[in-house]
C-alpha cells in the first residue's frame, strides 16, 4: 500500500502559557518550523480567541500545519499533514516543541490516502506544484 500523505498528530502538554496566549509568537514559531522542515509556505491564517487561545493554520505546498492552543491548560494540539519526500515533518515538530516550551508531549503518525499500487510509487501534487 502506498500513501499520498502522512500526518503527525501532536499533543503538547505543559507548555509555556504566555507563549500559548501570544498569537504573534505562535505564528512566528509555526512559520519558522515550516521553513526548518523544508515546507513551502503558501499562506497562513491565525486568530486569537477571547479571553485567550490561538488557532492558526499554515497552508503549505505539501498540505498544512495547524495549531490550537489552550493556555488555561498549558496545552496545544498540532497537526502536521504533509506529502512528498522533500519535507522533514519531524524537524518541524522539534522546532515547535522547543518554541512552545513544552515539557512533555505525545505523538501519533498516520498514513493518509492509501492506495494499492503494488510497487508503483504515488506521485504527489507538491512535486508538480514546485
Of the listed 83, 95, 102, 126, which one is catalytic? 83
Residues 6+ apart with CB under 8 A from 40: 60, 61, 62, 126, 130
Choice between 98 and 112, CB closer to its own copies: 112
Binders in 42-71 for its own copies, by CB under 8 A: 42-45, 47, 49-53, 55-57, 59, 61, 63-64, 66, 68, 70
Q: Does 92 bind its own copies (CB under 8 A)?
A: no
Contact footprint for its own copies (CB under 8 A) = 4-5, 7, 9, 11, 42-45, 47, 49-53, 55-57, 59, 61, 63-64, 66, 68, 70, 72-73, 75, 77, 79, 81, 83, 110, 112-115, 122-123, 125-126, 128-129
- Which residues are part of the catalytic machinery? 63, 68, 83
Amino acid at each position: 500500500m502506498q500513501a499520498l500523505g502522512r500526518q503527525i498528530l501532536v499533543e503538547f502538554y505543559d507548555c509555556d502559557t504566555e507563549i500559548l496566549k501570544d498569537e504573534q509568537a505562535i505564528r512566528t514559531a509555526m512559520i519558522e518550523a515550516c521553513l526548518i522542515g523544508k515546507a513551502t509556505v503558501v499562506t497562513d491564517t491565525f486568530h486569537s480567541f477571547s479571553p485567550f487561545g490561538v488557532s492558526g493554520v499554515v497552508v503549505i505546498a505539501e498540505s498544512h500545519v495547524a495549531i490550537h492552543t489552550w493556555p488555561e491548560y498549558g496545552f496545544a494540539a498540532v497537526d502536521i499533514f504533509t506529502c512528498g519526500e522533500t519535507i522533514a515533518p519531524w524537524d518541524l515538530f522539534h522546532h515547535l516543541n522547543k518554541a512552545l516550551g513544552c515539557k512533555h508531549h505525545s505523538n501519533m503518525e498516520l498514513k493518509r490516502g492509501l492506495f494499492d499500487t503494488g510497487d508503483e510509487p504515488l506521485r504527489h501534487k507538491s512535486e508538480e506544484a514546485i
